[in-house]
Amino acid sequence: MAADGNKRKRPNILVTGTPGTGKTTTSSALAEATNLRHINIGDLVKEKNLHDGWDDDLQCHVINEDLVCDELEDVMEEGGNIVDYHGCDFFPERWFDLVVVLQTDNTVLYDRLSKRGYEGAKLSNNIECEIFQVLLEEAKESYSEDIVKALKSNNIDDITRNVSSLTDWIRSWPPTS
């Protein structure tokens, strides 16, 4: 559990993984099932202009991690948040009680990303990240391994099962140990 977890009445969860693994779908469904607040970092960066410009090669904003953390500090202290982002190493460790890393088989992920219009370096970089489990390793290096949970996210049945198990975890929070 996060160091400040005992001050919060509701947990904070980070849902991370390579783009296309179902973070937003899972986070939205989980927020609806639990009445926790869903914070999509990509949307927040665009809405609040928390970036340093546009990366033409990767076709995405270059987020300003300090601005994102400053924007989220108070709401994270309150608890009750599901943060949805494809990176995890810049968030303060104290913010999260659970870090969920969604993983998808490469063939499924390739099809999802291709349908989104990913191509070239953007497509190959993301597939390589999944093959080498970059996000899982990043999560394990950034947070206590006992709060990092890898979940398969290949299809709607996986997502439904994940939402159900995470909902059970939230309902039993905080742990009694």
Residues annotated in the binding site, as ranges? 20, 22-25, 116
Annotated binding site for ATP: 20, 22-25, 116
Three-class SS string for the chain? CCCCHHHCCCCEEEEECCCCCCHHHHHHHHHHHHCCEEEEHHHHHHHHCCEEEEECCCCEEEECHHHHHHHHHHHHHHCCEEEECCCCCCCCHHHCCEEEEEECCHHHHHHHHHHCCCCHHHHHHHHHHHHCCHHHHHHHHHCCHHHEEEEECCCHHHHHHHHHHHHHHHHCCCCCC
Structure tokens, 153:
């996210």
